[in-house]
Amino acid sequence: MDKVSIDGRKLGVNFNSVGKAEVLIWAPRAEKATIRIREDQDIELGKLDYGYWQLTTDEIHPGSRYRVILDDQEWPDIASLNQPDIHGPSFAFDLREFQWTDQQWQNIPLEDYIIYELHTGTFSPDGTFEGLSDKLDHLISLGITAIELMPVAQYPGNRNWGYDGVFPFAVQESYGGAAGLQKLVDTCHQKGLAVILDVVYNHIGPEGNYFEKYGPFFTDKYHTPWGNAINFDDAGCYGVRRFFTENALMWLRDFHIDALRMDAVHAIKDFSTKHILQEIKEYTEQLIKKNGRRHYLIVECDLNDPRFINPLSKAGFGMDAQWTDEFHHALRIASGGKKEGYYSDFNGIGDLAEAFNHGYVYYGRYSAQRDKLFGADPEENPGKQFVVFSQNHDQVGNRILGERSSRLFSFEVQKLMAATVLISPFLPMLFMGEEYCELNPFLYFVSHTDPELISAVRDGRRKEFAAFHSEGEAPDPQAEDTFNASKLNWTLLKQPPHKLMLNYYSALIALRKTKPALRTLDRQQCRATVDEESHVLIVRRRYEDDVVTCLLNFSNETRTVFLADHHNCRLIFNSIDWQWNGPIYTTAIIPDGPHFTLQPQSILILEQYV
């Protein structure tokens, strides 16, 4: 059986060094396979072992339209690189044509990632990679070091979050296609920005899903929120595993993506002796050795299982980092959010301290919502393996009205939440627009073409929020107005409250970068303690001789905090300073310890000096 290729993409249609098209299709159920490049011209493929079909031809050129014919049935190529119409012909594309200028680029260390998650279609007015490029200088000025693109694999129509992708190798045409993505990444590297790409290996979208026409891509052994699971361990899974492993390698190798964020890997069902994530990691390591570039693998996982982020040498899956939703949940409740739904298992500031100290909130503790002991303690995993945030696309977009924190919390609480993320010993992530209090919502939107599916999606959203009618009617996901309402309003940057918040975020990020105790993600040198009665959190960070103490008051009242080791201590940041719309001028004030007065919903950051 052919192994996954490190050197170049093999599946689908590709072009070799002399310009000939090399075609490789996996269709183990077919008795015959051909490529149709014109209505009157079919080219037969030769049969290989294990269900693969192969062809080398000079009849296919970059830009050529083609269809795959399996036993006289005509389908798009599920490994297509260019698929503008998910039901129409595929188009050949040569990945080697783009002229890269990032030869000197070296991916930045993972611990230096300050991530900015964005949706290409709503981030800029025209919703394209080119429009995104025009805004990169804003992100650099803010202090961002890595952008994270929500999925760009081809989906139905031109409006979608991206998690309904049905052609994993094709780049969304309305964004600018494969060439547009290559240009964007090249531009980011020129400007010193790393690029993370969100990929979906736990399901395939419903409309335009032709995978079962090719082979056993799904199994009824397991069920997921999206139906039958992708077949990573049942009969015939070898071709499925290769398909997704080659997909991961393509993004890293051919698009120069610096890191992949893998969506909801807890929904990947795989009891093979080698988990698919481990396999992707091993091939990624081979690619790193070959091309000399560092790549990271980040996962979304809600199992609180360190095995996902433990190294291969310790029987882990080797993922470099994971999203940590529990930090978000605890932070929201500590900040006054409602304890409902999955938030009901969180108790606010005490659990926030647990997240600081353990990475997870539930690390073997009893979970009332699950009615069992849940999670394991990732005590040996460094801070750089946890991505934390106060907002993300899910937590905003899965609300009935898609409200951001700017609509749910006061200006002071928003500042406190931002500071909590940025003083943590973890990788901080911002969701697009939060840095200037974007007011527009981020709603759930689609642009399906199947009337029955459109109706099902609408009904599903109504039922999901049936208990929340007092908050309003769920916006129609199919309506273009829903999509347009979710676009960022860049004119807000010129208005005082929003410009002030942008400056606040920039100052916090700059402080994180310049203070060794904040920049160094050593969880062993971070300790959070809490006074639950006063609703105050104290976070102590240390690196060598640099010591920083952060006092966070989540209450609505003034609090006094006693610090025994207050000597040689000075204030370096105060969220209620006049420059952040606060009532007092506090720059360079030397506090009168050991008692420190905290204004409501505020943070003081102190440093010890010699």
Long-range own/partner contacts, residues 555-559 (CB < 8 A, 24 or more apart): 555/600, 555/601, 556/600, 556/601, 557/600, 558/597, 558/598, 558/599, 558/600, 559/534, 559/535, 559/597, 559/598
> Any binding-site annotation on 325?
yes
> Any binding-site annotation on 186?
no
The active-site residue, picked from 117, 198, 300, 354, is: 300
How far apart CA 195 and CA 108 sit, in angstroms, is 10
Contact call for residues 552 and 536 (beta carbons, < 8 A): yes
Provide DSSP, 272-310.
Answer: SSS-HHHHHHHHHHHHHHHH----EEEEE--S--GGGTS
Mention every residue, 6+ apart, whose C-beta is less than 8 A from residue 308: 265, 277, 299, 301, 316, 317, 319, 322
How far apart CA 177 and CA 184 sit, in angstroms, is 11
How far apart CA 407 and CA 400 sit, in angstroms, is 13
Buried b (16+ CB within 10 A) or exposed e, 221-238: ebebebebbbbbbbebbb
Alpha-carbon dihedral 109, 112, 116, 120, rounded to 10 degrees: -20
Q: At what angle do helices 411-422 and 496-514 cross, to 10 degrees?
A: 20
Of the candidates 374, 373, 453, 432, the residue with the CA atom closest to the CA atom of residue 87? 453
> Any binding-site annotation on 328?
yes
Residue 73: Cβ within 10 Å count: 9
DSSP state of 110: G
> Any binding-site annotation on 398?
yes
Phi, psi of 147 (to 5 degrees): -100, 145
> Any binding-site annotation on 327?
yes
> Any binding-site annotation on 326?
yes
- Respond yes or no: is residue 403 known to be catalytic: no
- Respond yes or no: is residue 450 known to be catalytic: no
Instruction: Work out whether strand 146-149 and strand 115-118 pair parallel, antiparallel, or are unpaired.
Output: parallel
> Any binding-site annotation on 262?
yes
The active-site residue, picked from 77, 233, 258, 263, is: 263
> Any binding-site annotation on 261?
yes
Instruction: Work out whether strand 65-70 and strand 33-38 pair parallel, antiparallel, or are unpaired.
Output: antiparallel
> Any binding-site annotation on 263?
yes
Binding residues for substrate: 261-266, 325-329, 393-398
Binding residues: 261-266, 325-329, 393-398
What residues act catalytically? Answer: 263, 300
